[in-house]
Amino acid sequence: MKRMMMAAAGAMLVAGCSGGGDADADGNGEVSLKEAAKQVSAQAPKPQPGLYKASITMTGMDIPGMPAGMAGHGSGMNTTTEYCLTQEQVDKGFEEMMKEGQNGECSYERFNLDGGKLDAVMLCKTPQGDARMEMAGTTTPTSADFAATMAMDIEGVGAATMKFDAKHERIGECPAE
């Protein structure tokens, strides 16, 4: 689940600078990775390559059967990482980054990005179960700031919900290798 949250957060940064409405080009009610990639690729500017800092803060969690004393467990937990977004990754585009992050197991139910405002729903198949992640926030060529709610049907457990806030910001150039 942590991998899914990080990949989604990174993908939103890559999507960050595009504008322009609903990406469901074929009108089937789902926005495929290809449709989302086409929307993002067709519009400029792209994110700036460089060193980024990502902070993901858990804001809520509800898992069936969780003891009452654990209510709010994980809330406020923060994970901060740094990663390098290379020119090659920017050039490959959104679709390839999502495939790397989710092994091609995700699609979009909705993907709207207009004027730096994001409204998206991503559906993923994971080893833990099927997940639906709603995301809303803002993006720029050097940052992304959004809130997400992930609902997941965990086999043998039931419907679980996790909420988190993600912030990405460019903090400099990638270190020399």
Amino acid identity of residue 159, one-letter, is A
Identify the residue whose tokens are 């858990």. Answer: 58
177, part of any domain: no
Boundaries of domain holding 16: 2-172
Query: Structural domain tally of the chain?
Result: 1
pLDDT in tens, the chain (177 residues): 444 544 455 554 444 433 344 566 677 777 666 666 565 555 544 688 999 999 999 998 888 877 776 666 667 789 999 999 888 888 875 445 544 555 557 878 888 878 888 888 888 888 777 889 999 998 888 998 999 999 988 777 888 888 999 999 999 999 987
Instruction: Determine the angle formed by the axes of helices 33-41 and 94-102, rounding to 10 degrees.
Output: 140
Alpha carbons 54 and 86: distance in angstroms, whole number: 15
